[in-house]
Chains A and B, each alone.
Chain A
Amino acid sequence: MVGQSVGDIVRPMEKSLFRYIWTHSKRDQLLVCAVVLVSQPFYFASLDLPRQIVNQAIQGEAFREGQATAPFLPFTLSLPEWLGGASFPIFEGFEVGRIGLLLGLSGLFLFFVIINGAFKYWINVAKGVLGERMLRRLRFDLFTMVLRFTPEALRTVKSSETATIIKDEVEPVGGFIGDAFITPVFLGMQALTALFFIMVQNVSLGLMALAVVGIQFTIIPRMRRELLRLGKRRQIASRQLAGRIAEVSDGIEAVQVHNSYAWERAEIGQRLYQLFDLRLRIYNRKFIVKFINNFLSQLTPFFFYSVGGYLAIRGTLDIGQLVAVIAAYRELPPPLKELIDWDQQRLDVQVKYDQVTQHFSEERLAPTLLAKEDAGEEAPLVGPLVAEDLRVSDPHGGVILNGVSFEIPLPADVALISGGASVASLMAQILARRMTTFGGRIRIGEQDLRQIPPAIAGQKIAYAGVDPILFPGSIRDNLVYGLRHKPLGQRKEDEREALRRIREAQRTGNPIENVADEWIDYTVVGAKDEDDLDRILIDLMKKVGMGNEIYLFGLAGRIDPERDPQLAEHLVEARRRLRETFQAEGMADLVEPFDPQQFNDQSTIAENLLFGVPTSDAFRGRNLAENSSFRSAIDQAGLFDELVHMGRQIAETMAEIFEGLPPGHSLFEQFSFIGAEELPEFEAILRRSRSDAALTKEDRTRLLSLPLAYIEARHRLGLIDDKLKVQFVQARGYVRQEFQKVEADVEFYDPEKICAAAPVRDNLLFGRVSYRVANAQARVAEAISAVVKGLDLLEDIERVGLDRQVGTAGRLLTAQERASVNLVRCLVKRPDILVIDGALAPFDETRAQKMIKLLIELGRGRSLFMVLPNDRQVEDFDILMRFGDGQITTESNAGRTSEASEPQPANAQRIAGEVA
């Protein structure tokens, strides 16, 4: 099934919501409508039964002629008058007495109630499913449009607004879709049935009801027009609010730097006021309309009771009839009300839908999206790169490039020397197809640059701009991002679940590919398998100078011993080896190992008590002090009072030594157990109670939290003596017992096992580096590195390093790391044309120079276009491209170093001039 593409050619969004719904769901809509139709006779029957019960059974009309029994459930097939009006009794019915008839008819009534309920249930579910499917389709279609936004449109489109549109604004549209056709049919039929029934009973009462309905249907929609207008304004205002919040949160740096809190607060406050005001007006309007609507609905019963009652008293209407009319009328207002609501909703969502489609208007979108076209064995992008009559102007109409022509034989390494002007970067964007609004033509060989299908361009051209765009996920995910074009192999998937998933996808125009499938195209990189790919990635990362970082990331990373039992085993082995190394080289005092029977001077008290690593915040830091299992454990160990006492001593010391430092001073943050803002609070606790016994429960908890972070060797307050150490070690048993009882989120240390919650480095050391020994950290790091290399674990650890999370927009990495990841992402797919536009900006000149050499080296036989500020780093390039006065000149590089493999022209000469 995989590889079959569904709905790839994207049509523009339907202008009319109803047409959109009808196009994509007519089958389901018709099916539900049919069921609604089928359900009507049962509904009608249930309306008629009360009359029969009152008239025939209770008042005894069926027994009027003195017979003892009457038929129950007779079934007669009658021909219409125009066919002779003959009737054929099919079933005579059961002969039953008066009580029997009453019970029979009542039972029948109950039966119809159940049948009607069942119909309603099925219809509601079907409607819900239909709505959800359409919502899925609508959202997906909109998302597909997001992918089609042109680079130019993206300058004005706010991503947060787009997100709120797809997530929130279409929600009510989706809710409505299920009701779009069915509700008017269903409710309309109910209303008509009820009306018809009233008509059958009594025409004048029916006409009366009809007249009131008519009034309702003319007045109410009119009154609601204003509501729609307000709704539209509200939608735009709240969309802008979402956009504004995202802007502020993205630009929080500027807000903080310029202290514009007050202004931003006032700005948002104003928006919220406007939203409130709009909502208030909507409420006022809405409830007035509701009031009138209710009044009109109650007008009809008023007529029924007064006029109908009058007729009944006069004897022209029998009481059974009146009761039935009133019973039927009870059924009339709800469908009517809902119909009116439906109409309101219809207008409402149509307005919303219009707003949504306007956001995705055609002029903002690239023509089509054919991402899945197979690039396959496409010929490489080589041959002469020919630009003819290039014309580019800036958004304000100024001329940037004016009739430029040039020719460069590819592959070549081209330096675009900007001289500080932005036009070089613009040219780079044109070559990388990041900019499409230019005049003239660019050809590579026989192909027009703009006509190259995106699938091929995506593989053959890579672009690294100033801002590396990283997605949340691991470094590896980001590196292989450019290799995910289509699923190549299937992961094992539950057959039935897969079938269901695919069927749903097909019904909603969604892609049938599974994200869990194997998407990475190893052949592009020349890798055999996952491990091989990792090796290539690590190798490239090393080449761009990230080798050490990846190794360190690996040491700081975590492994899952269940997923990688072999590595876990190796790490435990390395742990042993490391210990031996320390012993052998007299470094034993550098690391104090975790020993189940020994207190660890270099660890916090919390770590000593847990003898493990918490995996959730509830067990981390001060939260532990509030954890009931933990408290109960230290209570059993008889340590509660001791710890509170230690807390008091710490608080006293901190209050003493940090006194006089202004709050927010960096020393506070770096060294104090107590934040500057909490200090007064702790001072108050100390003042309140001179002795531990006098402490309140809350104060004890506060104090208890302090020593948890205390490390004897580091903080040296002399709080822990040998007796206490023994007690702490004993307490570990209680803690484990209590935690195991509640299945606490703590991974306990085991000398023979890997602790999945602890980083690789801690697992290797299985102990803490001594604070007491000078230069211990560096020496331990060296020892680890030596053992890792000795046991051939380097690659495994670097592989763990690739799992490092990059955070939102890569914010967990430094600018240089981000730039490196961005570059390797481009390099790994081995593009025919690599365009580098400021991607080396975070590096200093020496490193940038190295990178340039590397890029040229790695791209032998392929083309490199790089924007450079000046001539300083051009020595390795084949061709220099210069910009000025709306023109471009290209020249082959005279100062090029001779080691180049390609033959080069004997001397510098212009290989193509400009055309004025």
Chain B
Amino acid sequence: MTLEAEVQTLRQVPMFKDIDPARLKLLAFTSERVQFADRQRFFSQGDASDSAYVILEGRADVLLTTPTGEIKVAELEGNALVGEMGILSDTPRSATIMASEPTTALRIDRRVFLELLAQFPQMSLAVMRELAKRLEQTNAKLVAKSTP
């Protein structure tokens, strides 16, 4: 898989879909492509947030640490972006991500990501739009929950 293919994957990520291809290429170029073995952790809950990941191939589980142990709350597959909230809000990891099969991901460094956002307003806007959308969805869910 080359840079071009990675750019194609990035375009599938909702947060990045409106961004100029040349910028996505820069994002891909400044990221690392890494492989995780089955059961290898991307990061653990409570770690410092230093990067976000886009899953290129494979699957990963989202695990929450509870007093009774880790429980799986969601599953991620190709084109999923994970860990971006932590690097934007500069808070520790809120969950553990563990590969559930051999997985390839693009590791986007926090500093580089923020540099890019600072440099290109278009990217910032795309990220804001995505975040706003999520908030809206959360609100909608809350409304749905509170109405019996």
Q: B-contacting residues of A (Cβ < 8 Å)?
A: 653, 656-662, 665-667, 670-671, 714-718, 771-775
Contact = CB atoms under 8 A, between A and B. Distances in A.
| Main SS class of interface, A | loop
Contacts of A661: 26, 119
Nearest to B25: A657
B22 A656 contact: yes
A718 B26 contact: no
A200 to B, nearest CB: 94
A666 B120 CA distance: 14
Contacts of B3: 653, 715-718
Given A771-B33, A774-B42, 4 more contacts: A660-B120, A667-B30, A716-B33, A774-B35
Contacts of B32: 714, 771
B61 interface: no
B62 to A, nearest CB: 17
A657 B29 contact: yes
Residue from B3, B26, B33, B105 whose CB has the most chain A CB atoms within 10 Å: B26
B2 A658 contact: no
18 contacts: A656-B25, A657-B26, A657-B29, A659-B22, A660-B119, A660-B120, A667-B26, A667-B115, A667-B116, A670-B30, A714-B32, A716-B6, A718-B2, A771-B32, A771-B34, A772-B35, A774-B34, A775-B34
Nearest to B120: A660
Nearest to B7: A657
B109 to A, nearest CB: 10
B93 interface: no
Contacts of B1: 716
B106 to A, nearest CB: 10
Interface of B: 1-4, 6, 22-23, 25-26, 28-30, 32-36, 40, 42, 105, 107, 112, 115-116, 119-120
A661 B120 CA distance: 9
A430 B39 CA distance: 64
B67 to A, nearest CB: 28
Contacts of B2: 716-718
Contacts of A718: 2-4
Contacts of B28: 716
A745 to B, nearest CB: 33
A662 B120 CA distance: 11
Given A667-B112, A715-B29, A774 B107 contact: yes
Nearest to A666: B115
A665 B119 contact: yes
A774 B36 contact: yes
Contacts of A658: 26
B12 to A, nearest CB: 18
A664 to B, nearest CB: 12
* Minimum-distance CB pairs A-B, first 10: A718-B2, A774-B34, A657-B26, A657-B25, A716-B3, A774-B36, A671-B30, A772-B35, A773-B35, A716-B2
B120 A774 contact: no
Nearest to A717: B3
Given A666-B115, A717-B3, A772 B25 contact: no
A773 B116 CA distance: 25
A671 B29 contact: yes
Contacts of B116: 667
A772 B115 contact: no
Contact of A657 (B22, B105, B115, B119): B22
Contacts of A656: 22, 25
B119 A772 contact: no
Nearest to A655: B22
A110 B19 CA distance: 95
Nearest to A770: B35
A775 B22 CA distance: 28
Nearest to B6: A716
A773 B33 CA distance: 8
A661 to B, nearest CB: 6
A660 B35 CA distance: 31
Nearest to A712: B2
Contacts of B120: 660
Contact of A773 (B29, B30, B34): B34
Contacts of B22: 656-657, 659-660
B16 to A, nearest CB: 15
B101 to A, nearest CB: 14
Residue from A653, A771, A774 whose CB has the most chain B CB atoms within 10 Å: A774
Contacts of A716: 1-3, 6, 28-29, 33
B118 to A, nearest CB: 10
Nearest to A656: B22
Given A717-B2, A718-B3, A772 B33 contact: yes
A780 to B, nearest CB: 14
Contacts of A670: 30, 112
Nearest to B111: A666
